[in-house]
Chain A
Amino acid sequence: MNVDLLSFARGPALKFALGIFCAGVVWRILAFCLLRIRRDFNRPRNSMLKYLWTGVFATASRSWPHPEFIKRTGAGEALGYSYHMGLFVVILLFGPHIAFLGSLFGITWPGLPSSVITAIAVVTATLFLGVLFRRVTTPVIRMLSNFDDYFSWFITMLVMLTGLAASAHLGARYETLLAIHILSVDVLLVWFPFGKLMHAFYIFPSRAINGAILARKGAAT
């Protein structure tokens, strides 16, 4: 059997990475969800329906800074949302990505022209650099950052850059660039459940839970 780098990347390496990703994500979510919640002996301030609704509402309301803080954190949050949207567009609407996802899930959908995707990817990568700059230059964020933050940034950036190089045929033969791109995706999939990339699964539930808890606490008036 003649196996080249591309066959390895999209074959055994991808299978291994996808396996680690699925097992890791389920492991971490279950390990979190099955923890014992400390019993709250206080009488609820609101009805259960009300605090569940508040949880859902908080998921949206906490996704943008309160007007009081908007000057201080609005730009940073906008930067974060922008590159996330760029990432989603590139991942979900690029023809070869649709073909890849279609091979895994059996469904495909219309994509965007490659030139538009390339432009969005360049803007996204630039925004991503801006995010790193903000992390390094803001004292509080810098103090809160650790290896996890920087490695998660690095591996995501690597996937973007190798993808750009592969689509533009820059630096090496297409099959080599594509293999490196897929290998970087494999590394990202392996890292995903164990690093801060897991925020993809935690961020909205944690906002909902916080909202619900806060709606339950305190005295009813």
Chain B
Amino acid sequence: MMDSTRDPTVGETLRKHGVTRRGFVKFCTATVTAMALPPWMGAAMAEQLRNSPRPSVIYLSFQECTGCFESFTCSFSPTIENLMFNVISLDYDDTLMAAAGDAAESALATAMKTNFGKYVLIVDGSIPTGASGACCTAAGRSAEDILREAAKGARVILAVGTCSSFGGIPFADPNPTNAWPVSAIVGDTPIINVSGCPPIPEVITGTLLQYVTTGEIPDLDEHRRPKAFFGNTIHDRCYRRPFYDAGKFAKTFDDEGARNGWCLYELGCKGPTTYNACATLKWNGGTSFPIESGHGCLGCSEPGFWDKGSFYEAQSTAKWGRAGETSGKQVLELVGATVALGGVLGVGSAGISRLHQTHLEKDRNEDVTKDEP
């Protein structure tokens, strides 16, 4: 018999919504498979979900474009509604919630107080600290203040998107708002970065689901990203990889190579240095991903992707200059200046050597004169 004084568990909620035991186990198995977890995790996840109350999730949006949240809502497996109605309790999200103003802020305060130490905090967007935090405020408080307060009671923080993970576009040179990633502001609470601009929907929901169902932080790479999704480069799993190995590269976006689906490396594809699941999970329910659509990877899930030069220059190319691009003019300027310098040094060295030669000849002539009878 269900205790009416406590929150219903996930299992109880699912039963209430008519989800059968078989359907529930299938859901757990599919989730485990999608996250590349060991098979025994399916049973463990089902057990954990059945007996746990739906965890409170607080979603904070700071200096961002809402693209990550758009992506979050587009997840096919698990869907956002499935997550919200069956697995998590989304207690605060200022984009999605009907409440506004004081009612919304009150919901946030209540969720933080009631679930202190237990809730999952999702952060979307970078945190601007310039102009005393005035670049991004909500209810009269700076993003930094809100984050610091919310982070105190969070069990874990999911930094969703490249802006919250690594600073993203606001962090890019010249960083006018002095923006920082979550990890630069929060020190004590564990952080899982789910980077991407935006991240793949299933990577956001999959990471969230994995955490709330297992209660454990997944294996992370050196950028604190789940290895299940960020363990391989896009290049490693790209269907165009055989063309790279065969040395067949598209030279322009409308040449024969591009039409034949050849490798986009020379058109600036950042797949070889970008760790993400685009080439395997793809987008829009596995429909396609940027490279499949004929455009190179921008490397949006990597730190500092906006400052790494042109999106359309191969990664093996030279790169310098203010804009991070090396033009023929810049190369000519460099070669011209250094050749001129070399010329001056060469003429100078030759002059010194000639003086030395003259002295030697003079000494030799004097010696010959002395030796003459």
Interface residues of A (CB under 8 A from B): 1-4, 6-7, 10-12, 14-15, 18-31, 33-36, 94-100, 102-106, 108, 111-117, 169, 173-175, 178, 182
Contacts and interface: CB of A to CB of B under 8 A. Distances in A.
Interface of B: 167, 171-174, 233, 235-236, 244-249, 251, 265-266, 272-273, 303-304, 307-309, 313-320, 324, 326, 328, 331, 334-335, 337-339, 341-343, 345-347, 349-351, 353-354, 357
B341 A23 contact: yes
Contacts of B342: 22-27, 30
A3 B343 contact: no
12 contacts: A2-B303, A18-B334, A22-B342, A35-B354, A36-B354, A97-B316, A103-B318, A106-B328, A114-B247, A117-B247, A174-B235, A174-B272
Contact of B350 (A10, A35, A103): A35
Interface of B is mostly: helix
Contacts, number: 165
A7 B319 contact: yes
Contacts of B319: 7, 10-11, 14
Contacts of B341: 23
A96 B316 contact: yes
Contact of B339 (A22, A103, A115, A116): A22
Contact of A169 (B236, B335, B339): B236
A98 B263 CA distance: 14
Contacts of A114: 244-247
A115 B246 contact: yes
A95 B265 contact: yes
A99 B346 contact: no
Given A97-B316, A113-B245, A34 B350 contact: yes
A220 to B, nearest CB: 29
Contacts of B314: 96, 99-100, 103
- Tell me whether chain A's interface is mostly helix, strand or loop, or mixed: helix
Given A36-B357, A174-B233, A178-B316, A103 B245 contact: no
A133 to B, nearest CB: 32
A169 B173 CA distance: 30
B245 A115 contact: yes
Given A7-B309, A27-B349, A34-B346, A104 B318 contact: yes
B169 to A, nearest CB: 12
Contacts of B236: 169
Nearest to A31: B349
A28 B346 contact: yes
Contacts of A31: 345-346, 349-350, 353
A19 B318 CA distance: 13
B247 A113 contact: yes
A14 B324 CA distance: 13
A107 B29 CA distance: 53
A118 to B, nearest CB: 9
B181 to A, nearest CB: 11
A178 B331 contact: no
B246 A113 contact: yes
Given A6-B273, A23-B345, A106-B328, A11 B320 contact: yes
A100 B307 contact: no
Contacts of A99: 249, 265-266, 314, 316-317
A86 B337 CA distance: 33
A79 B347 CA distance: 37
Which of B249, B272, B307, B342 is the most central at the interface, judged by chain A CB atoms within 10 Å of its CB?
B342
B273 to A, nearest CB: 4
Contacts of B317: 10, 99-100, 102-103
Contacts of A28: 346
Given A22-B342, A96-B316, A103-B317, A4 B304 contact: yes
